[in-house]
């Protein structure tokens, strides 16, 4: 056993190349040729294989670090006992290139056709496969542009791939792609003309002058890309398993290291924050193309905007299949309002994220209702409509004050609870456009008349579409009353980040046993749903008992 320092092999002279993936961890046993790292330049990715079997003792780099030939990557405890004192950094650098690469030679001269435009020169230049760093043939795996496309300099034209590296070949300069002479799957060689680009330059301009020289901009691409790629092509041991065979035959892509995508696609995915394991590749052998990533993002944005995701799928749950309802009878499609779509998305989000428990109880509101009836005329004189709602708001606010374990939210860091020292109550409100939840602030500090007045103002604003965003924010607890509509009970969905909601159904006169006899009492069915991550059943029991007691004894409520 000996300890070795593995270094970056010959990467064709490329300097400061970024590490984009590290495929091993300290303690891992690795085989000779197993991929250790993936490096990426502007235009190419390359895998750095392990020079020999052993156990990773220490990682000397991290993702994002820049490395050059000779940079130390990791410490390896060699498994090869014969491999003792003779080992040195040179020997154990990952399989050096078969031959040192000379600087990439100039690409063949461009073929120039003078154009006829009076104010510019039109030239048809050959697009030539650049220096492949010794690889005799590489495969065309992606065509990034079509004839007729207008391109800027450095826009990707094609992607080539060898066993272990892929490279973008960019347009040498701006222009219109006239023709492509290759197809996906073709093998191409250095110097091969693979297309033609129609360029337009001002006479005498630098670019124009360059065109007529034997140094088309493609050389720039060669400098940028194929040099490291060339190294990657040659630096990879022949015995190493080709990336393609490891990745594309696997139907289930769960590991980012097994994703089959080129450097430009990987870069685009990183820029957009896309997890490539979730993208379906439509390229050759299921390779993920840039268009696949764009389509994936477009679909996500569309779903988020339309709320379709909310009504059809969520959290990895299979989507409800699309159904052609017209096959069963006459139908018409009605556009969902924005509020309906937002509600659908919110309901799905809350239903899927919040582990719900619902408890049920009944409050004896006989006295409260008698009191309310006795105050109705006076309230009306003051311009206030006294429905059960303001009493429910007041009772909920008092119960939240008395049982603060309900007046919380889960902190997004997953480490804290937010204990609120204010009491704002949301009122679920049925409006012509859909469900809205205005928030009545500081309900614990307000009297019944003021609550009634403010609640009806908020409800009216909600129904007229006049609510401001801040009038729908900051709720601690929501009341959803279907009492005017009927029903004996329902399970409301918690309005996250709140942790509880009360559903109110229609009060009914019911016989109640008073210890001696059954007496008719006005019973209000209530349901409290809560987020079981934040609230325990016992907390709910206490909160609910307090709430019911407050509603059953109007004197306590007023106090
Ligand atoms: N039991 C019996 N009667 C009730 C009642 C109850 N629980 N709640 C209200 N009523 C009565 C009221 O007293 C009133 O009658 P009155 O005029 O004779 O006094 C009548 O029903 C109408 O009340 P309403 O105007 O609807 O006022 P409200 O203050 O009770 O309710 C809203 C206001 C905004 C809560 C209600 O109109 C609403 O939109 N609810 C829908 C909530 C919803 O959609 N939630 C989502 C469900 S998941």
Q: How many CA atoms lie within 13 A of 139 on its CB side?
A: 12
Q: With CA atoms as reference, report the closest residue to 169 among 292, 264, 276.
A: 264
**CATH number for position 40:** 2.40.50.100
Domain membership flag for residue 485: yes
Give the pLDDT mean for 370-393. Answer: 94
Domain membership flag for residue 291: no
Identify which of 481, 501, 524, 527 to mutate to test ligand 1's pocket (most ligand atoms within 8 A of the CB). 481
Tell how far CA 199 is from the center of its chain.
Answer: 40
pTM of this prediction?
0.54
What is the helix (H) or strand (E) element at residue 349, kind and residue range?
helix 338-353
Give the pLDDT mean for 192-210. Answer: 70
| Active-site option among 411, 412, 424, 532 | 532
What does 243-268 look like in DSSP terms, one character per residue?
HHHHHTT-S----GGG--B-HHHHHH
Ligand 1 centre from 492 Cα, in Å?
Answer: 15
**SS3 of 205, please?**
coil
Give the pLDDT mean for 419-441. Answer: 96
What does 431-473 look like in DSSP terms, one character per residue?
ETTEEE--EETTGGGS-HHHHHHHHHHHHHHHHTT---GGGGS
Query: Which token pair is 525?
Result: 């069915």
131 in Cβ contact with 222 (< 8 Å): yes
Domain membership flag for residue 245: no
Ligand 1 centre from 505 Cα, in Å?
Answer: 9
Ligand 1 centre from 282 Cα, in Å?
Answer: 54
| Of 43 and 271, more confident | 271
The closest residue, in CA terms, to atom 9 on ligand 1 is 484
Torsion angle of the four alpha carbons 17, 21, 27, 28, in this order, in degrees rounded to the nearest 10: -110
* 525 CB within 6 A, ligand 1: no
Contacts of 69 (CB under 8 A, 6+ apart): 7, 8, 9, 10, 11, 13
> What are the φ/ψ torsions at residue 263 (nearest 5 degrees)?
-60, -40
| Of 178 and 232, more confident | 178
The closest residue, in CA terms, to atom 10 on ligand 1 is 484
Q: Given this model, what pLDDT does residue 261 score?
A: 81
Q: How far apart are CA 454 and CA 316, in angstroms?
A: 42
Q: How far apart are CA 353 and CA 414, in angstroms?
A: 13
> What are the φ/ψ torsions at residue 364 (nearest 5 degrees)?
-80, 100
Does the bond joining 225 to the residue before it have cis omega, within 30 degrees of 0? no
Query: Which token pair is 110?
Result: 């461009």
Question: Where does the pLDDT of residue 388 fall: very low under 50, low under 70, confident under 90, or very high at 90 and above?
Answer: very high
Torsion angle of the four alpha carbons 369, 373, 375, 381, in this order, in degrees rounded to the nearest 10: 140
* 457 CB within 6 A, ligand 1: no
**SS3 of 231, please?**
helix
Residue at a domain's end among 93, 113, 134: 93
Q: Given this model, what pLDDT does residue 269 score?
A: 87
What DSSP character marks residue 287?
A: P
Ligand 1 centre from 402 Cα, in Å?
Answer: 26
Q: How far apart are CA 279 and CA 288, in angstroms?
A: 7
Domain membership flag for residue 34: yes
Domain that holds residue 399: 341-558
* 527 CB within 6 A, ligand 1: no
Domain membership flag for residue 72: yes
Q: Given this model, what pLDDT does residue 559 score?
A: 67
Longest dimension (CA), the chain: 111
Give the pLDDT mean for 399-427. Answer: 96
Q: With CA atoms as reference, report the closest residue to 396 among 489, 470, 500.
A: 500
Domain membership flag for residue 59: yes
Ligand 1 centre from 483 Cα, in Å?
Answer: 5
Query: Which token pair is 240?
Result: 């190493």
Ligand 1 centre from 430 Cα, in Å?
Answer: 10
Q: Is 168 left (phi over 0), alpha (psi -120 to 50) or beta?
A: beta
Question: Where does the pLDDT of residue 74 fall: very low under 50, low under 70, confident under 90, or very high at 90 and above?
Answer: very high
| Of 131 and 108, more confident | 131
Instruction: Name the average pLDDT for the chain.
Output: 81
Is 412 an annotated catalytic residue? Answer: no
Instruction: State yes or no: pLDDT of 56 exceeds 70.
Output: yes
Domain membership flag for residue 525: yes
What is the helix (H) or strand (E) element at residue 545, kind and residue range?
helix 537-552
What DSSP character marks residue 388?
A: H
**pLDDT tens, position by position, 336-377:** 988 899 999 999 999 999 999 999 999 999 999 999 999 999
Domain count, the chain: 2
Residue at a domain's end among 93, 111, 146: 93
Q: Given this model, what pLDDT does residue 471 score?
A: 96
- Looking from the CA of residue 430, the nearest atom of ligand 1 is 39
Tell how far CA 391 is from the center of its chain.
Answer: 43
Domain membership flag for residue 244: no
* 492 CB within 6 A, ligand 1: yes
Identify which of 483, 494, 502, 524 to mutate to test ligand 1's pocket (most ligand atoms within 8 A of the CB). 483
Tell how far CA 63 is from the center of its chain.
Answer: 21
Residue at a domain's end among 47, 67, 93: 93
Instruction: State yes or no: pLDDT of 248 exceeds 50.
Output: no
Instruction: State yes or no: pLDDT of 212 exceeds 50.
Output: no
Q: Given this model, what pLDDT does residue 558 score?
A: 72
Query: Which token pair is 137?
Result: 């043939």
Q: Which of 21-30, 37-46, 96-105, 257-266 has the highest mean pLDDT?
A: 21-30
The secondary structure of 136-190, three-state, reads CCEEEEEECCCCCCEECCCCEEEEEECCCEEEEEECCCCEEEEEECCCCCCEECC
Which residues make beta-bridge pairs with 167?
44, 160
Percent of the chain surpassing pLDDT 90: 50
- Looking from the CA of residue 376, the nearest atom of ligand 1 is 19
**pLDDT tens, position by position, 161-172:** 877 677 888 888
Q: How far apart are CA 421 and CA 407, in angstroms?
A: 8
Q: Is 212 exposed, middle or buried (0-12, 13-18, 19+ CB in 10 A)?
A: middle
Identify the weakest region by mean pLDDT among 75-89, 183-197, 330-344, 493-507.
75-89
């Amino acid at each position: 056993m000996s300890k070795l320092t593995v270094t970056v092999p010959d990467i064709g002279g490329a300097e400061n190349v970024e590490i984009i993936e590290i495929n091993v961890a300290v303690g891992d046993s690795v085989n000779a040729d197993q991929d250790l790292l993936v490096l990426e330049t502007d235009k190419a990715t390359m895998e750095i294989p392990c020079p020999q079997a052993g156990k990773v003792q220490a990682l000397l780099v991290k993702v994002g670090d820049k490395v050059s030939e000779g940079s130390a990557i990791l410490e390896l405890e060699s498994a090869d006992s014969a491999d003792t004192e003779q080992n040195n950094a040179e020997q154990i650098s990952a399989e050096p290139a078969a031959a040192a690469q000379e600087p990439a030679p100039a690409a063949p001269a461009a073929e120039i056709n003078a154009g006829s435009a009076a104010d510019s020169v039109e030239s048809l230049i050959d697009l030539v496969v650049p220096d492949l760093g010794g690889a005799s043939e590489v495969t065309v795996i992606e065509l990034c542009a079509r004839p007729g496309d207008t391109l800027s300099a450095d826009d990707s034209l094609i992607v080539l791939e060898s066993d272990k590296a892929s490279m973008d070949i960019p347009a040498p300069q701006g222009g219109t792609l006239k023709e492509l002479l290759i197809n996906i799957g073709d093998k191409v060689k250095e110097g091969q003309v693979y297309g033609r680009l129609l360029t337009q330059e001002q006479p005498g301009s630098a670019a124009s002058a360059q065109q007529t020289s034997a140094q088309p901009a493609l050389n720039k691409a060669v400098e940028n890309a194929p040099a490291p790629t060339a190294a990657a092509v040659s630096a990879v041991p022949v015995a190493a398993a080709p990336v393609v065979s490891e990745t594309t035959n696997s139907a289930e892509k769960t590991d980012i290291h097994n994703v089959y995508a080129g450097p430009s696609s990987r870069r685009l995915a990183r820029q957009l924050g896309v997890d490539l394991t979730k993208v379906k590749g439509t390229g050759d052998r299921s390779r993920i193309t840039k268009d696949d990533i764009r389509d994936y993002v477009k679909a996500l944005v569309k779903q988020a905007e339309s709320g379709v995701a909310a009504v059809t799928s969520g959290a990895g749950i299979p989507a409800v299949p699309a159904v052609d309802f017209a096959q069963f009878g006459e139908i018409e499609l009605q556009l969902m309002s924005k509020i309906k779509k937002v509600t659908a998305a919110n309901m799905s989000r809350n239903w899927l994220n919040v582990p719900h428990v619902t408890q049920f109880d009944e409050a004896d509101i006989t006295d409260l209702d008698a009191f309310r009836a006795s105050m109705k005329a006076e309230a009306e004189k003051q311009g206030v409509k006294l429905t059960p709602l303001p009493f429910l708001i007041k009772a909920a606010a008092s119960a939240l004050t008395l049982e603060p374990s309900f007046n919380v939210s889960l902190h997004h860091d997953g480490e804290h609870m937010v204990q609120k020292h204010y009491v704002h109550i949301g009122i679920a409100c049925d409006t012509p456009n859909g469900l809205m939840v205005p928030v009545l602030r500081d309900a614990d500090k307000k009297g019944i008349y003021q609550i009634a007045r403010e609640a009806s103002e908020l409800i009216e604003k909600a129904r007229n579409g006049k609510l401001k965003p801040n009038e729908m924010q900051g709720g601690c607890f929501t009341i959803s009353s279907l009492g005017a509509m009927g029903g004996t009970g329902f399970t409301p969905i918690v309005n996250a980040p709140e942790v509880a909601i009360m559903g109110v159904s229609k009060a009914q006169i019911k016989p109640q046993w008073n210890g001696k006899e059954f007496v008719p009492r006005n019973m209000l069915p209530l349901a409290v749903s809560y987020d079981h991550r934040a609230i325990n059943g016992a907390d709910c029991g206490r909160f609910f008992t307090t709430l019911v007691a407050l509603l059953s004894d109007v004197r306590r409520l007023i106090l």
